[in-house]
């Protein structure tokens, strides 16, 4: 099956990951998770511009719970 989206650097990315130690890969996973969370929160802030920080946090937790429950 052909890749639907061209990823010219994917092979290089995999080579770099293979050269990393397990600790480095774990750190990278945490870094990417934090980045994804920040993007998600920023997106919620744009979608709900009048929400307080507390309201955004509740919306965030609700959305996470819905995603988690769909996968399990």
Q: What residue spans define the domains of the chain? A: 30-72
**pLDDT surpasses 70 at 72:** no
Q: pTM for the whole thing? A: 0.69
Residue 44 contacts residue 56 (beta carbons within 8 Å): yes
**Per-residue pLDDT at 65:** 87
Among 34, 35, 43, CA closest to 63: 43
Task: Tell me the CA distances in angstroms from 26 to 15, 22, 32, one per residue in order.
Answer: 16, 6, 10
**Per-residue pLDDT at 4:** 79
For residue range 49-61, list pLDDT tens digits in order. Answer: 999 999 999 999 9
- Burial, 56: exposed, middle or buried (Cβ in 10 Å; 0-12, 13-18, 19+)? middle
For residue range 16-45, list pLDDT tens digits in order. Answer: 999 999 999 999 999 999 999 999 999 999
């Amino acid at each position: 099956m052909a890749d639907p989206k061209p990823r010219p650097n994917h092979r290089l990315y995999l080579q770099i990951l293979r050269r990393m130690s397990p600790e480095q890969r774990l750190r990278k996973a945490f870094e990417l998770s934090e980045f994804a969370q920040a993007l998600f929160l920023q997106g919620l802030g744009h979608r709900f511009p009048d929400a307080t920080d507390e309201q955004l946090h509740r919306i965030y937790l609700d959305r996470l719970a819905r995603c988690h429950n769909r996968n399990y």
